[in-house]
Chain A
Amino acid sequence: KAGVTQTPRYLIKTRGQQVTLSCSPISGHRSVSWYQQTPGQGLQFLFEYFSETQRNKGNFPGRFSGRQFSNSRSEMNVSTLELGDSALYLCASSLGSLSYEQYFGPGTRLTVT
């Protein structure tokens, strides 16, 4: 069974731009969660989608948004990029809504210049 895939793997953007990251969960998994990982803050929860609905949200500004499609694939969007948004963005999928084990993708490394 294929694992979680994320595209692109690497991305360089400039301040003020916006970016969209994509995540395809493990087949059969209906929940997708997004995390931001930085050296200083570690892994921080952004939001979780289950059956196309946002079920849980972390403490991030409204510039961070996401959505989930009927095939469970998910996208995350960051608008008006700031230097501090440079991070590894990880997507994790699970069978159910957060109450199950989460399996991570390889991440998208975003660099904002």
Chain B
Amino acid sequence: GQQLNQSPQSMFIQEGEDVSMNCTSSSIFNTWLWYKQDPGEGPVLLIALYKAGELTSNGRLTAQFGITRKDSFLNISASIPSDVGIYFCAGRSGSQGNLIFGKGTKLSVKP
């Protein structure tokens, strides 16, 4: 079946640093979504991407839909303590297909 590889699994960064994470799939996707999940809560949608090459920003967050349609990237600039959490990528390969989720990147910020 379809798989999403998300990396890194976890990272510790200094406040103010930029963060990068990515997802790669074994098949072509036509939608990429990025979510953030805080402990005890459901995932919150951060950015949605629908076209290959698309670059979209949401405040300090920027995500890109890879040209090959098999990958996506999320960057967080000037990280702050509230960026702590688990970030998930999710992709869909058809208009009716369900979302496939990566295993998440756990972000911890040193104050």
* Number of CB contacts from chain A to chain B under 8 A: 55
Binds A, one of B14-22, B40-48, B74-82: B40-48
Verify if A64 is at the interface (C-beta below 8 Å from B).
Answer: no
- Chain A residues near B45 (CB-CB < 8 A): 101-104
Residue-wise, chain B 76-111 has the 8 Å CB interface mask toward A (1 for contact) of 000000000000101010011111111110000000
Quick one: which of B42, B98, B104 contacts A90, CB cutoff 8 A?
B42
Q: How many residues of A contact B (CB 8 A)?
A: 24
A102 contacts B33, C-beta separation under 8 Å: yes
* Chain B proximity of A27: nearest CB distance (Å): 17
Verify if A25 is at the interface (C-beta below 8 Å from B).
Answer: no
- Chain A residues near B90 (CB-CB < 8 A): 43
Q: How many residues of B contact A (CB 8 A)?
A: 23
Separation of A99 and B44 alpha carbons in the complex (Å):
17
Given A42-B103, A101-B33, does the pair A90, B43 have CB atoms closer than 8 Å?
yes
- Chain B residues near A42 (CB-CB < 8 A): 101-104
B42 contacts A56, C-beta separation under 8 Å: no
- Chain A residues near B98 (CB-CB < 8 A): 33, 45, 48, 56, 58, 98
Quick one: which of A90, A98, A101, A107 contacts B97, CB cutoff 8 A?
A98
- Chain B residues near A107 (CB-CB < 8 A): 41-42
Given A42-B102, A43-B88, does the pair A4, B42 have CB atoms closer than 8 Å?
yes
B97 contacts A104, C-beta separation under 8 Å: no
Quick one: which of A33, A55, A104 contacts B44, CB cutoff 8 A?
A104
**Contacts of A25-43 to chain B: CB distance below 8 A:** 33, 35, 42-43
B96 contacts A56, C-beta separation under 8 Å: yes
B41 contacts A101, C-beta separation under 8 Å: no
Could you list which residues of chain A lie within 8 angstroms of chain B, going by C-beta atoms? 4, 6, 33, 35, 42-45, 48, 55-56, 58, 90, 92, 97-99, 101-107
3 smallest A-B Cβ distances: which pairs? Answer: A104-B42, A43-B101, A45-B98
